[in-house]
Amino acid sequence: MRARTMVSVAVSACVALVACGCGPEKSKEDTGAKPSQPSASTRAEEPSATPSASARTEQPSAEPTGDQPAPRTKEGAIQRYEQYLHALGREDIDTVCEVAGPGAKKAQDQGIGPCTATYVAVFQMISPAQKKALQTATVDPQRIAVRTPSKIEMPVESVRASVTFSESELGSCTLEYLKNDWYITD
């Protein structure tokens, strides 16, 4: 049953990734994560089309800002999952694979393939309307299940978006607090 759950999560993650095209949001996050650049020169470069292309070569800002760990709270898990959903809608493979890394690694070990290849396929399965909905999706805190202080279940029913997602389209996820942040593990 655990293998079936992982396959379901991998497929759901792929579907979610296909639904999102997260270029613009990532660019904003990455620009803010460059403290060494003067803000005036950063702003001057933003209007051109090249910053979003160069932003994809950098690490996603899905990691905690600075040296501070992400909050080990229900709200911290929700924020991280929403970051994943938005990235899925924007097709931001770097952020998706960052957040879903541990779960994607389990799926890869079971023969599903590497995260980047799996989610590229998922991106193709998500309709444009679903991608757009994922970009602004939120999570209903009343519908999640806190299993332990380090493990939270995000059922598909907790996702609030302009379209409804089924278990087969998006799936439910388990987030665990590892290495000072929340990650999808199942």
SS3 sequence of 127-161: CHHHHHHHHCCEECHHHCEEEECCEEEECHHHEEC
Confidence of residue 67 (pLDDT cuts 50, 70, 90): low
Q: Who has greater pLDDT, 176 or 9?
A: 176
pTM for the model stands at 0.66
- How many whole angstroms separate alpha carbon 167 and alpha carbon 20? 17
Q: Are 11 and 113 in contact (CB under 8 A)?
A: no
Model pLDDT for residues 76-109, shown as the tens digit of each residue:
999 999 999 999 999 999 999 999 999 999 989 9
CA distance 167 to 8: 9
State residue 177's pLDDT score.
97
pLDDT at 90: 97
Q: Are 127 and 16 in contact (CB under 8 A)?
A: no
pLDDT confidence bin for 186, thresholds 50/70/90? confident
pLDDT-derived band at 15 (thresholds 50, 70, 90) equals very low
Calculate the alpha carbon distances from 69 to 11, 106, 148, 180, 182 in Å: 29, 24, 18, 5, 10
* 3-class DSSP state of 182: strand
Q: Which residues contact 108 (CB under 8 A, 6 or more apart)?
A: 114, 115, 118
Encode pLDDT of 126-181 as tens digits. Answer: 999 999 999 999 999 999 999 999 999 999 999 999 999 999 889 999 999 999 99
Q: How far apart are the first and last CA of the chain?
A: 12
Query: Is the pLDDT score of 73 beyond 80?
Result: yes
Please write the tens of the pLDDT for every residue from 25-62: 333 333 333 333 333 433 333 333 333 333 333 334 44
The residue behind tokens 């957040």 is 99
In angstroms, rounded to a whole number, what is the distance separating the alpha carbons of residues 59 and 71?
21
Q: Which residue has the tokens 């302009």?
A: 162
